[in-house]
Amino acid sequence: VDIDWEYPNACGLTCDTSGRDAYGGLLSALRSKFGTDALITSAITADGSEGGKIDAVDYAGAAQYLDWYNPMMLDLYGAW
C-alpha cells in the first residue's frame, strides 16, 4: 500500500483541516488492518520551509507504521 495524501492538514488543490495527527491515525489503522507483513509506504512533501507542509503533520510519529517514506522532490528549484 502506498499513500499519497496531498496534503494532510495543509493546503494543496484544496485545504485540509483534519489536524496534525490524522495522518498518523490513518497509517495506524492501515498497519492494524494489514499487519506487519504488509509493505506500507507513503509519498510525502519535501517542503522543508519554515511553517511549510512538512511542519503540518507529525511525520516522525507516523513513521512507526511505515516501511519507508518517499519524498516528492519535484518542482524544487533555487540557488543551492
Q: Which residues are catalytic?
A: 6
With vertex at residue 34, the alpha carbon angle to CA 30 and CA 36, rounded to the nearest 5 degrees, is 100
Q: What 8-state DSSP symbol labels residue 21?
A: T
Torsion of CA 52, 57, 58, 64, to 10 degrees: -120
